[in-house]
Amino acid sequence: MKLFEKPSPKLFQTAETSEFQNLPLALAVIIVGMFVIAIPTFYILRTKTKGVSVKAQLIALLKDEFSYIAALIAVILVGQGYYLADPAASIIVAAVIVFSGIYLFKDNVHCLVGRTPSKEFMEKIESTAKSVEGVLGVHDLRAEYVGPNVIHTGFHIEVAKNTPIEEADHIAEEVKEKISHETGCQHCVIHVDPAERST
Ligand SMILES: [Zn+2]
């Protein structure tokens, strides 16, 4: 705090002096804020929790921590008479907010719009379903992203006409299991059709 007990003479010669009278207070608020933000940040980093919301939270916290550091440097520089540090820090903080926002948006936008998985993925689902014994055909395949690595699929399988419902259900379960094993897709809705009436 010695820095602020003996401010440089320049500080008293400027008209802007009155604006920066509470530098020690500003410094204290920033340091307290940095500690408060650091607690959840370290908690997230330590537990290594994964997930979209946790990642967004972590980026928001790191952005805040960076903003505090920028503000801290600015306050110290202003205390030494470098008044341009104040607007410069504001611009840097604004830029960090914009870039972290763009980063999170790009990272998550495909979940919001339900992006279609790759053609290879669709073909893999169809061929896997067809490879199960008793499946005569596959149609009306739909798939969309419902999370960064989570795909929701739905389709119809055709089984031989007059197949008992228990057996048809067993075939559908087998398809579901094989798709989960082969593609990792856990969210699969299967509708069973008799082979003749494929609607
Ligand atoms: Zn159908």
Tell me the mean pLDDT in the region 33-39: 92
Do 104 and 81 lie in one domain? The reply is yes
Tell me the mean pLDDT in the region 75-95: 90
Residue numbers of the domain that contains 155: 119-194
Distance 67 CA to ligand 1 centre (A): 56
Say how many domains are in the chain.
2
8 pLDDT more than 80: no
Q: What is the pLDDT at residue 19?
A: 58
191 pLDDT more than 50: yes
Distance 166 CA to ligand 1 centre (A): 18
Sequence-distant (6+) residues with CB within 8 A of 188 are: 153, 154, 175, 176, 179, 180
Distance 114 CA to ligand 1 centre (A): 23
- Of 71, 90, 112, the position where a domain reaches its end is 112
Do 8 and 96 lie in one domain? The reply is yes
Do 123 and 182 lie in one domain? The reply is yes
- Of 112, 137, 161, the position where a domain reaches its end is 112
Residue 90 and residue 120 in contact, taking contact as beta carbons nearer than 8 Å: no
Do 137 and 96 lie in one domain? The reply is no
Tell me the mean pLDDT in the region 129-154: 91
User: In the structure encoding, which two tokens stand for residue 8, read together?
Assistant: 């440089």
3 pLDDT more than 70: no
Nearest to 179 by CA among 124, 133, 123, 139: 124
15 pLDDT more than 70: no
Distance 25 CA to ligand 1 centre (A): 70
Coil/strand/helix, residue 195: coil
Give me the CATH number covering residue 128: 3.30.70.1350
| DSSP element (H, E) containing 124 | helix 119-130
